[in-house]
Amino acid sequence: MSETVEELEQQARKLAAEDRARLVELLLESLHSPISEIEAAWDQEIENRIAAFDRGEMQDYAAEDVFAEARRLSR
């Protein structure tokens, strides 16, 4: 560990339990920010596809047909 990290650890250990827990949450969130961006993009894509389907712009397929095609392609 670098000296900076060790110093931060020592300072963090002096915090109240509630503050340490909040710090942990913030640090974990910072690690997942790219994932959040990806999730946000997928959420938007899902909304766009649902709206297109509702407007009749997308074709629907019977589940049996989709599964049959998947089985056919996996052979």
Answer yes or no: do 39 and 66 share one domain: yes
| Residue matched to tokens 């946000």 | 40
- Tell me the percentage of the chain whose pLDDT exceeds 90: 79
| Residues 6+ positions from 1 with CB-CB distance below 8 Å | 9
- Average pLDDT score over residue span 20-25: 95
What is the arithmetic mean of pLDDT over 25-47? Answer: 87
Mean pLDDT rounded to a whole number for the chain: 92
Query: What average pLDDT does range 31-50 have in this prediction?
Result: 88
Do 62 and 74 sit in the same domain of this protein?
Answer: yes
Beta strands in the chain (DSSP E): none
Residues 41 and 21 in one domain: no
How many domains does the chain contain in total?
Answer: 2
Is 15 found in the same domain as 2? yes
Domain region containing 46: 34-75
Q: Tokens 């997308």 sit at which residue?
A: 58
Residue 38 and residue 27 share a domain: no
What's the rounded Cα separation, in Å, for the pair 37 and 32?
9
15 contact partners, CB below 8 Å, separation of at least 6: 23
Shared domain check, 75 and 40: yes
Label residue 72 by pLDDT band (50, 70, 90).
very high
Q: Is the predicted pLDDT of residue 39 greater than 90, yes or no?
A: no
Please check whether residue 3 is in contact with residue 11, taking contact to mean a CB–CB distance below 8 angstroms: no
